[in-house]
Amino acid sequence: MRALLRNYVGGAWVETGRTFANINPVNGAKVCDVSEADAATVARAVEAASRARDGDWGRMGDEERAALLRRVADRIEARFDDFLEAEVADTGKSYPQARTIDIPRGAANFRIFADLIKAYPNESYEMTTPDGAGALNYSIRRPLGVVAVIAPWNLPLLLLSWKVAPAMAAGNAVIAKPSEETPSTATLLAEVMDEVGVPAGAFNLVHGFGPDSAGEFLTRHPDVDAITFTGESRTGTAIMKAAAERVKPISFELGGKNPAVVFADCNLDAAIAGVARAVFTNCGQVCMCTERVYVERPIFDRFVRGLKEKAEALTLGRPADTGVDTGPLISAGHRDKVLSYYRLAVEEGATVVTGGGVPRFGDERDEGFFIQPTVWTGLSDEARVCREEIFGPVCHVAPFDTEEEAVRRANDTDYGLCASVWTQNLSRGHRVAKRITAGLVWVNSWFLRDLRTPFGGVKLSGIGREGGIHSLNFYSEPSNICIKL
């Protein structure tokens, strides 16, 4: 692992003289230093991307770009262990999780969008004209130009590549800004771009924070043509204001307060296991994680008992520990935030079924940012902890009596990213899934997603859809050409 991570601008590695520390959340130790991009470095990245857009990269055909992106995927796989070690050091997530989800899905993004760009259809229409000769309309698609990609820390490579790959497949030049908490796999990705011969400036990397740092310098830069962002809804508001100045296209994947609705006719063991996974995976730090659970009254007590057992059986530990289920939260700051909700829940009158505090290990993990998996009951839907996104290993479980009530309460939120419904009644599954206002609804499952399907949220959970052809629709714009025959 390198002692200093640098920015990658116009095909060159750039240091700025100002650094920040990358911290391992398992034990609070420094992983490495990171060179923070200043406004001048971000401006150089934008210039380099603009040159690439107008130069070799912009002139490259779909076939050749797709071949390069496939080489990126191959190279990530060839350097699998480097990516794995880097992701685990930055996030503290378990090796099995990073090995089976983060890194392979990160590589797969490059392969799938390389395939899709070649299959991307264009429209054509023949029309009649007053002279009877007719005219032919057909559309061509153009890249947006210079695209800023701003990513969060929870699934660092996966969520960065999920935007970088389709943006580049569509022919855009990209400037990627990973989260300040997880800069390592993005830096490895820049190395890979360099190694496989991506033209200078087609992929640039700037490190730093949001406000008054690389994130804001990028979103405010007049020559950035479009912004794609995954992160908190509040950050989305700030970025939208910056983008409004030049009415830039934006694609936003934001926060959630995702419900699970569990009917008495479910397979109870499967529902308990599925909801436990949806609440506690990655220490609750997946945008799709469940924080509100509604359970039909006849099975409420049994469900809560089962979820408590699952929570208490989780093994918190180091990434390499045998049988570890969950690692730490990402940072001391994030743990403070989640703990403030643990306190607030008690003030609001919650029954703490399990958890609610910080585990003690008696070793170096006490310097890290672990937190107990937590389950609450007893609150009204108006409680703040039932309305605000917490992004930790925690949920509130409430009983309901009718399908109508369950749907109403699931939808009673400012967010709308995803939901899950647990029932063995096929008609009910379809019916309820259709009525829940969210970008993605699972029936009897969670976090199953083909990369070609549309992904995104409604209300405060986002703007637009990415995934498969939906990504290519965002990262390119059609122009119509009309030929008089």
* Residues labelled catalytic: 253, 287
Q: How far apart are the first and last CA of the chain?
A: 62
Residue whose C-beta lies closest to ligand 6OD: 287
Q: Tell me whether residue 9 or residue 214 sits nearer to ligand NAD (CB atom).
A: 214
Q: Quick one: which of 229, 344, 322, 324 has its CA closest to 283?
A: 324
Q: Tell me whether residue 199 or residue 274 sits nearer to ligand 6OD (CB atom).
A: 274
Q: Tell me whether residue 213 or residue 377 sits nearer to ligand NAD (CB atom).
A: 213
Q: Quick one: which of 410, 426, 420 has its CA closest to 459?
A: 410
* Residue in 38, 87, 102, 180 binding ligand NAD, rule: CB under 6 A: 180
List contacts with ligand 6OD (CB under 6 A).
Answer: 105, 154-155, 158, 286-288, 449, 455
List, in sequence order, the alpha helices (H) in 231-362: 233-244, 268-280, 300-313, 332-347
Cα separation, 73 vs 108, in Å, equals: 7
Residues 6 or more apart in contact with residue 268 via CB below 8 angstroms: 299, 302, 303, 306
Residues 6 or more apart in contact with residue 47 via CB below 8 angstroms: 10, 223
Site string for ligand NAD, 256-285 (x = CB under 6 A): x-----------------------------
Nearest approach, Cβ of residue 430 and ligand NAD (Å): 25
Q: Quick one: which of 141, 165, 145 has its CA closest to 66?
A: 165
**Per CB under 6 A, does 447 bind ligand NAD?**
no
Nearest approach, Cβ of residue 153 and ligand NAD (Å): 5
Cα separation, 255 vs 220, in Å, equals: 22
CA 234 to chain centre: 15
Cα separation, 305 vs 397, in Å, equals: 11
CA 5 to chain centre: 22
Q: Tell me whether residue 50 or residue 154 sits nearer to ligand 6OD (CB atom).
A: 154
Which of ligand 6OD, ligand NAD, none sits in contact with 105, Cβ below 5 to 8 A by type? ligand 6OD
Which of ligand 6OD, ligand NAD, none sits in contact with 284, Cβ below 5 to 8 A by type? none
Single-letter amino acid code for the residue at 68:
L
Decide: helix, strand or coil at residue 222.
coil
Q: Tell me whether residue 317 or residue 462 sits nearer to ligand 6OD (CB atom).
A: 462
Nearest approach, Cβ of residue 234 and ligand NAD (Å): 7
Nearest approach, Cβ of residue 471 and ligand 6OD (Å): 11
Q: Tell me whether residue 182 or residue 204 sits nearer to ligand 6OD (CB atom).
A: 182
Max CA separation in the chain (angstroms): 87
Residues 6 or more apart in contact with residue 385 via CB below 8 angstroms: 341, 344, 345, 348, 350, 376, 379, 396
Q: Tell me whether residue 303 or residue 455 sits nearer to ligand 6OD (CB atom).
A: 455
* Residue in 389, 440, 460, 475 binding ligand NAD, rule: CB under 6 A: 389
Region of 58-66, 136-144, 208-216, 303-311 interacting with ligand NAD (CB under 6 A): 208-216
**Per CB under 6 A, does 253 bind ligand NAD?**
yes
Which of ligand NAD, ligand 6OD, none sits in contact with 255, Cβ below 5 to 8 A by type? ligand NAD
CA 18 to chain centre: 28
* Residue in 300, 391, 400, 442 binding ligand NAD, rule: CB under 6 A: 391
* Residue in 42, 224, 287, 329 binding ligand NAD, rule: CB under 6 A: 287
Which of ligand NAD, ligand 6OD, none sits in contact with 192, Cβ below 5 to 8 A by type? none
Cα separation, 340 vs 412, in Å, equals: 23
Q: What share of the chain is helix, strand, coil (3-state, %, to 5)?
A: 40, 20, 35
**Per CB under 6 A, does 230 bind ligand NAD?**
yes
Nearest approach, Cβ of residue 178 and ligand 6OD (Å): 14
Q: Tell me whether residue 273 or residue 463 sits nearer to ligand NAD (CB atom).
A: 463
* Residue in 152, 183, 327, 393 binding ligand NAD, rule: CB under 6 A: 152
Reduce the secondary structure of 9-42 to three states and give it as a string: ECCEEECCCCEEEEECCCCCCEEEEEECCCHHHH
Nearest approach, Cβ of residue 219 and ligand NAD (Å): 5
Return the half-sphere exposure (C-beta side, CA atoms, 13 A cut-off) of residue 293.
30
Which of ligand NAD, ligand 6OD, none sits in contact with 239, Cβ below 5 to 8 A by type? ligand NAD
Which residues bind to ligand NAD, rule: CB under 6 A?
150-154, 159, 177, 179-180, 209-211, 215-216, 219, 230-232, 235, 238-239, 253-256, 287, 389, 391, 417, 457, 461-462
